[in-house]
Amino acid sequence: MKFARAIWKLLVGVKDVLVLIFMLLFFGLIYAGLSSRPAPVKDGILAFELEGAVVEQPSKPGLTELASGGTAATREYRLRDLVAALDAAREDDRVKAVALDLERFTGGGQVAMIDLAEAVRRVRESGKQVIAYSPAYGDDSYMVASAASEIWLDPLGAVAIAGPGGNNLYYKGLLDKLGITPNVYRVGTHKAAVEPFIRNDMSPEAEQNAQALGGALLESWREAVAKNRPKAKIDPYMRDPVGALNAAGGELSRAAIGLGLVDKIATRDAFEARLAELGGEDEETGYKRIKLAAYVNDSVSDDDSGSIGVVTVAGMIVDGQASAGTAGGDSIAAIIEKAVRKGGLEALVVRVDSPGGSVLASERIRQAILNAKRRDMPIVVSMGNVAASGGYWVSTPADFIYAEPSTVTGSIGVFGILPSFEGTLQKLGLGADGIKTTPLSGEPDLLNGPSEQADQFLQAGVNSVYQRFLAIVAQSRKKPPAAIDQIAQGRVWDGGTARQLGLVDGFGGMEEAIAKAGELAKITDPQDKVRYLERPVSFEEQILELLANDQASPAPPQDAFAVLSPDTSLVSALTDLRSILAGPRIQVRCLECPSSAPARVKAEDLSFMAALRAWLF
């Protein structure tokens, strides 16, 4: 009995300690939440201090990712919040000017940057000054800054325009070393997503497609910059940056101002002194500033009763439930179905910024959109940076599809990768044997490799999904499947070419998509009747978001080397490698599409990288 009482006291003590810890954590989080509430907005300079990436939908990491440290590396800003804040600032007398502080800005994709730059230009055209500053400008940051009234550059800085391009990792040599056989099943001459697993370089078909896409994206970028800043001599600088540097005596900043790329070479202190002239001085901060988060909270509001619903499909399309920033098939379908059941919706706008993923999840989302359409609800799709493969699959129910010239779309193809480990077992001196009662018993055999019958069975499955994909697109675009097959085959298209091919209906962004939805549903003043459809945030998620915001750190300062060589490319490649090998067996995914979102490392990615490092070293 004494032993039992001692155990009981121990358990009660443990329980009391856990309750105490929970209570401390609970009240600590409440205090943190209350103390982090934005201060009231006063007169001053709207400080657009972007210390991370612009995304369509910020990610919300779960408890596992927070505990393991596997989260987005830097802060994320929702594109529509930034655009809405800039539009509100145009007529807000409290905002004397806008400061675009891009020192720690990491970009966010060409379409998003053009949209953000257009919002900046609208502020400039309203008569308010927009002053941009950075130690270095890359493709994305210069696009945004090009719309400013004044572009400032640090004396030690540079404008480093690289354009689309760069290398991708190819894993065949690594997989051979590990003894892993990537059994590939695909349809599409240009389905280059699988090439990194079966080659050590690009195929001629993939290179041709990538070169055409890169050229089109560069042309769209040039046109947008020329529109924002006609005096910038971008072409000679991009053609011969070394020549421009030599002509400026070897000074990067002098070369930039000589070609009209920037207006002022000065330090941050001078930049802030200029802002103090425009908005008033402040003893603590140098100039009177309106913090971005406070202004968004004060000036940007969502209507939860509008008749035009907007649902976002952002990130990788995955099976089941997923938090914001990843397109969970069940999650997004449930959001749409709940809004339709609730009533009050007369039209639906689907904002797509996804390279695809799971074919089952893509179909789950498509069916939810179709169910809304069966209720005579017009469907309009607005494509963002990327709406390819599965991203195009979910777009097919639309009555009208908008894209931008810089949108990456198409990639109508299917693939599957099934890793087997016969080579690994041989390296380890292991064997695998067993029995069969049918040709498919124990198949696909991941130890000895799939049998010939299993290979044929799996390839037939991929072929079937591809034919289904063609049929869906053909029905949507009102063309024969054979005609769609000619422009499919996994090819990736820019938005301009996609419009010529009939894969999209018109150029435009969210504003045009909402206007079209209002026109089709006969809704007056559609821009004032938008309801953003998102899953309600639970108390647990609010706590995790507070923790995530506390963990998230601003990106490091962007010098010329940093903007030319982002340090997340290797991590992103290894994350893609793990997700492909461990993901759904049949995928509608564009792995070769340019990524706009920051690398989001999950706990399983960290485990994979640790295991890979241990194996190799």
Q: How far is CA 318 from the centre of its chain?
A: 14
- Which helix (H) or strand (E) segment is 39 a member of? none
d(CA 475, CA 415): 22
Q: What is the pLDDT of residue 281?
A: 87
- The CATH H-level superfamily of 308-538 is 2-enoyl-CoA Hydratase; Chain A, domain 1 (3.90.226.10)
The DSSP bridge partners found for residue 52 are 75
What confidence tens digit (pLDDT) does each residue in 349-389 have?
A: 999 999 999 999 999 999 999 999 999 999 999 999 999 99
Residue 34 has pLDDT above 50, yes or no: no
- The answer to whether the CB of 453 falls within 8 A of the CB of 426 is no
The pLDDT of residue 581 is 63
Do domains 44-165+216-299 and 308-538 share one topology? The answer is yes
For the chain, the straight-line distance linking the first and the last C-alpha, in angstroms and rounded, comes to 55
Residues 363, 371: contact at Cβ < 8 Å? Answer: no
Supply the pLDDT for residue 222: 95
Answer yes or no: is pLDDT of 417 > 60.
yes
Residue type at 442?
A: G
Who has greater pLDDT, 393 or 540? 393
For 250, left (φ over 0), alpha (ψ -120 to 50), or beta?
left
Question: Are 106 and 52 in contact, with CB atoms under 8 Å apart?
Answer: yes
Considering the domain delimited by 44-165+216-299, tell me its CATH architecture: Alpha-Beta Complex (3.90)
In this predicted structure, the answer to whether residue 603 has a pLDDT above a threshold of 80 is no
pLDDT at res. 284:
81
Q: Mean pLDDT, the chain, as a whole number?
A: 85
Residue 486: CB atoms within 10 Å: 11
Strands 181-187 and 414-420: antiparallel
Instruction: Output the CA angle 218-219-225, nearest 5 degrees.
Output: 90
pLDDT of the residue at 169: 83
DSSP of 415-465: EEEEEE-HHHHHHHT-------SSTTTT-S-TTT---HHHHHHHHHHHHHH
pLDDT for 203 = 87
H, E, C per residue of 157-193:
EEECCCCCCCCCCCCHHHHHHHCCEEEEEEECCCCHH
Q: Please give the backbone phi and psi of residue 273, each rounded to the nearest 5 degrees, phi first.
A: -65, -35
The yes-or-no verdict on residue 231 having pLDDT over 60 is yes
Q: Alpha-carbon torsion 184, 190, 193, 198, what sign?
A: positive
Q: Which two tokens stand for residue 166?
A: 């760069």
SS3 (DSSP) at 271 = helix
**List 146, 149, 362, 389, catalytic entry:** 389
- Dihedral sign for Cα 531, 532, 535, 538, please: negative
* Number of neighbours of residue 569 by Cβ within 10 angstroms: 15
Mean pLDDT, residues 24-31: 54
Q: Residue 385, Cα to own-chain centre: how many angstroms? A: 8
Strand-pair category, 379-388 with 492-494 = unpaired
Q: What is the pTM of this model?
A: 0.86
508 dihedral zone (left: phi>0; alpha: psi -120 to 50; beta): left
Listed by start position, the domains of the chain span 44-165+216-299, 308-538
Single-letter amino acid, residue 393? W
d(CA 586, CA 357): 9
In residues, how long is the chain?
Answer: 617
433: amino acid identity, one letter? D
SS3 call for 67 = helix
| Interatomic CA distance for residues 392 and 406, integer angstroms | 15
Residue range 389-401: mean pLDDT, rounded: 97
Quick one: average pLDDT of 419-443? 91
Of the listed 60, 96, 191, 529, which one is catalytic? 191
Burial of 330 (0-12, 13-18, 19+ CB in 10 A): middle
Least confident of 64-68, 198-202, 245-249, 484-488: 64-68
Q: How many CB atoms lie within 10 A of CB 617?
A: 5
Rounded-to-integer distance, Cα 159 and Cα 141, Å: 10
Please give the single-letter amino acid code of residue 388.
A
Q: How far is CA 143 from CA 159, 409, 561, in A?
A: 11, 21, 18
Tokens read off for 571: 């991590």
Can 227 be counted among the known catalytic residues?
A: no
**Phi then psi dihedrals of residue 53, to 5 deg:** -110, 150
- Asked if 347 and 308 touch (Cβ cutoff 8 Å), the reply is yes
What's the mean pLDDT in 56-85? 73
Count CB atoms within 10 A of the CB of residue 268.
15
Q: Indicate the DSSP class of residue 149.
A: S
Asked if residue 197 lies in contact with residue 420, where contact means CB atoms within 8 angstroms, the answer is no
* Token reading at 60: 């919300």
User: Is residue 389 flagged as an active site residue?
Assistant: yes
Model pLDDT, residue 331: 95
Tens of pLDDT, residue by residue over 144-190, are 999 999 999 999 999 999 889 888 888 899 889 989 998 989 886 66
Q: Which of 27-31, 97-101, 202-206, 486-490 has the highest mean pLDDT?
A: 97-101
Q: Which of 464, 488, 463, 489 is nearest to 477 (CA)?
A: 488
Helices (H) and strands (E) in the chain, counts: 25, 24
Distance CA 430, CA 421 (A): 11
Secondary structure element (H or E) that encloses residue 234, with its range: helix 234-239
pLDDT of residue 578: 66
Report the distance separating Cα 353 and Cα 350, nearest Å: 10
